[in-house]
Structure 1
Amino acid sequence: MALRDDKVTLSHGGGGKAMRDLIEEVFTAVFEPPGMEDQAVLEAAALAEPGARLAFTTDSFVVTPIEFPGGDIGKIAVCGTVNDLAVGGAVPLWLSAAFIIEEGTEIALLRRVVASMAREAAAAGVRIVTGDTKVVGRGACDTLFVTTSGVGVIPPGRAMGAARVRPGDVAIVNGVLGDHGAAILAARGDLALSTDLQSDCAALGHLMADVLAAAPGAKAARDLTRGGLASALNEIAETAGCGIEIAEEDLPLRAEVVGVCEILGLDPLYLANEGRLVVFVPEAEAAAALSAMRARAEGAGAAVIGRAVEGHVGQVRMRTAFGGARIVDMLVGEQLPRIC
């Protein structure tokens, strides 16, 4: 083992032997990319299928704390990128990963994050095929930032997008909402909250594939990250040119999440999720889609929460438990910074 340092130094980003030792022992030894070139050459039978299309996405992750109940920055990076591809109907295949590392970061922390990424990638059926590392001075970043990009293949004949949603389509979520945001808030320790909540962080590629097999007429899906369910529904309503109605009593929420939100004056509809999505399907396929979700662990708490409607175009309205109604607007500002 050539790497004997306990912490990252500026020499690990200098382009010499120290950098190569860090990359080989911490990253490539775990990810096992095909070769050590400056690019990955991608090959898959799916690419040769007539009518297949490529899907490409990128995202950066700056969560604090780096490790939290139910996950870490590496797990979020893989799951978040896989989910961005999956909700568009793509089969996720390849990821890149770039790391901005603060001088003084513990090598052991890097190893844990990288191992977490490798586990999640294997479970999701994707490969981390290329990447980059940069080391910056103390104070130039907060321990570790990760940027991942993903490439997937959309099979021939599959078309999804918010503009395809029509009145009557049913909205389904795959589980309880707000766990990630509440778990991160509690893990920061600033408010002395005692809770057993864990992040909902999960890759949803396999679940989405099952939903599309059961409900091939699915119109659109969104993963419920920053801005939560409320922001995702508003985006869909605006793009589709219709209204969306949801029912408060149908929303799957843990009592602990509701309690944390009540204490802090937050709305669980806007809390970030890292393993939750909403999908709109024709009413005739809703039961099949719901059953497909519930057959997987990451969809065990799936529920129908509402539908698209003709009225109040571009708005989301919620029927409250008291029989009234309120507008669920787009999130203004940021409830919780550095959440993912």
Structure 2
Amino acid sequence: MDFPPNNIAQNSLFQKISQPRRRPAKVRDTHITLAHGSGGKAMRDLIDDIFISNFDNPLLSQLEDQASFNLSTLLQQGDRLAFTTDSYVVDPLFFPGSDIGELAINGTVNDLAVSGAKPLYLTCSVILEEGLATETLRLVANSMKAAAQKAGVQIVTGDTKVVPRGCADKLFINTAGIGIIPAGINISAHNIQPGDAIIINGEIGNHGAAILIARGELALETDIESDCQPLHELVATILKVCPQVHAMRDATRGGLATVLNEFAATSQVGISLNEVSIPVREQVKGICEILGLDPLYLANEGKLVLVVKSEQAPTVLSAMKSHPLGQNACIIGEVIASPPGVVLLKTPFGTERIVDMLVGEQLPRIC
């Protein structure tokens, strides 16, 4: 967040933010101005008031240009580092069930989790458009704080930039994450073999449908909410009973269809899906029928797809159903030897169709 160099003033600030008491707000402006990105007092106050007060932890409190970690401590938790980054430009910023702040935390946590890693540390970089309401930014930061606490991760460094009005759309967030992969875990699409079972942890398409409705472009009323949620604990539950998971991904942009096409292309196997086994809420189906969309391509923010040996599938499924985020888990298909690189869908009418990679964009600015 463009923190200043280490000096007496910084040490004094560190002493203040280390005290467990409510800190008075310093930002008096109702909207973001270019001064909040200038590197001066206005930016310092914005960072101190909105970001450090919410994200405060021993690593962030050092106010250095980077966070430093003890490698020996990290190595006690695993033998490999997982590192990921993602940017969030969702429109609108707030939508049924979640918002851009929670989405930024959970999205990066999930990218780490599906590698088998325990998520530990995140960065937070924001690009603010001049004129953004300060209260909006405060609400987003509060949401990020709550999501990080729920996921058990710390936001340890970041950056803040302000661009002139019209050069961005309110607020963009980038988060990067670090996690530790325990020894013996090797999750990769290259591991997929014919005969493997494909499992998902619940309904698809809810996030995409919620965003679509939230944009107010359709005169539709629905109670669909985004499925935005952290998946690390569900992954830990799975790996406890089956450390030999072959592959795992979270089905975000491009949806279930994109993940499975990536699996098939990477491992050069075929994938056969059973349409009636894929859980889709009736309201989501209705929206898709009205707009000519396919729920297989709708984005999700709390759904993971995993591939395991068929003989391990019942054990994995039972473990998933014991967790709140896996109660609706089900087997949706299997891996086949041919045609390689192709995803097939068995329809309720006894026919098969190819499920290709998404061409173009069904719904932009989804995450």
Match status 1:211 vs 2:238:
yes
State which of 120, 126, 135 in structure 1 corresponds to 2:153. Answer: 126
* Aligned residue type for 2:299: A
1-structure distance, mates of 2:338, 2:344? 10
* Aligned residue type for 1:15: G
Report what 2:322 is aligned to: 295
- Contact 1:243 1:312 (C-alpha < 8 Å) held by counterparts: yes
1-structure distance, mates of 2:203, 2:267? 25
Report what 2:137 is aligned to: 110
1-structure distance, mates of 2:236, 2:107? 16
Report what 1:36 is aligned to: 63
2-structure distance, mates of 1:50, 1:333? 41
Q: What is the Cα deviation at residue 311 of structure 1? A: 1.6
Report what 1:21 is aligned to: 45
Report what 1:326 is aligned to: 353
Match status 1:260 vs 2:287:
yes
Aligned residue pairs, count: 340
2-structure distance, mates of 1:43, 1:290? 37
2-structure distance, mates of 1:224, 1:111? 29
Q: Which runs of 5+ in 1 are unaligned?
A: none
Spell out the pairing of 1:219-238 with structure 2 (5 A cutoff).
219-238=246-265
2-structure distance, mates of 1:54, 1:34? 24
2-structure distance, mates of 1:174, 1:46? 33
Q: Which range moved further: 295-304 or 84-93?
A: 295-304
Deviations 1:48-85 (A, max 9, x none): 24960101000100000000001001111111101111
2-structure distance, mates of 1:329, 1:181? 19
Match status 1:60 vs 2:84:
no
Match status 1:10 vs 2:34:
yes
2-structure distance, mates of 1:51, 1:202? 24
- Contact 1:217 1:285 (C-alpha < 8 Å) held by counterparts: no
* Aligned residue type for 2:33: T
State which of 123, 128, 131 in structure 2 corresponds to 1:101. Answer: 128
- Contact 2:185 2:244 (C-alpha < 8 Å) held by counterparts: no
* Aligned residue type for 1:256: Q
* Aligned residue type for 1:93: L
Q: What is the Cα deviation at residue 34 of structure 1? A: 3.6
2-structure distance, mates of 1:200, 1:232? 17
Q: What is the Cα deviation at residue 194 of structure 1? A: 1.2
2-structure distance, mates of 1:248, 1:299? 19
Deviations 1:273-331 (A, max 9, x none): 01111000111211121122222222221111011111211000011011111111100
Q: What is the Cα deviation at residue 42 of structure 1? A: 2.0
- Contact 2:238 2:316 (C-alpha < 8 Å) held by counterparts: yes
1:291–1:202 CA distance, 2 compared to 1 (3 A): same
Q: What is the Cα deviation at residue 136 of structure 1? A: 0.7
Report what 1:77 is aligned to: 104
2-structure distance, mates of 1:170, 1:131? 40
The runs of at least 4 aligned residues of structure 1 exceeding 3 Å deviation read: 43-46
* Secondary structure of residue in 2 paired with 1:145: strand
2-structure distance, mates of 1:71, 1:51? 32
Q: Which range moved further: 50-59 or 232-241?
A: 50-59
1-structure distance, mates of 2:75, 2:281? 45
Deviations 1:137-156 (A, max 9, x none): 10010000000000011111
Deviations 1:198-221 (A, max 9, x none): 000011011111111111111010
- Contact 1:69 1:198 (C-alpha < 8 Å) held by counterparts: yes
TM-score (normalised: structure 1)? 0.98
CA RMSD of superposed structures (Å) = 1.2
Q: What is the Cα deviation at residue 89 of structure 1? A: 1.2
Q: What is the Cα deviation at residue 44 of structure 1? A: 6.6
Report what 1:280 is aligned to: 307
* Aligned residue type for 1:145: F
1:154–1:147 CA distance, 2 compared to 1 (3 A): same
- Contact 1:34 1:40 (C-alpha < 8 Å) held by counterparts: no
Match status 1:241 vs 2:268:
yes
Q: What is the Cα deviation at residue 45 of structure 1? A: 5.9
Q: Which runs of 5+ in 2 are unaligned?
A: 1-24
- Contact 1:165 1:280 (C-alpha < 8 Å) held by counterparts: yes
- Contact 1:166 1:242 (C-alpha < 8 Å) held by counterparts: yes
Greater Rg, structure 1 or structure 2? 2
1-structure distance, mates of 2:71, 2:230? 21
Match status 1:169 vs 2:169:
no
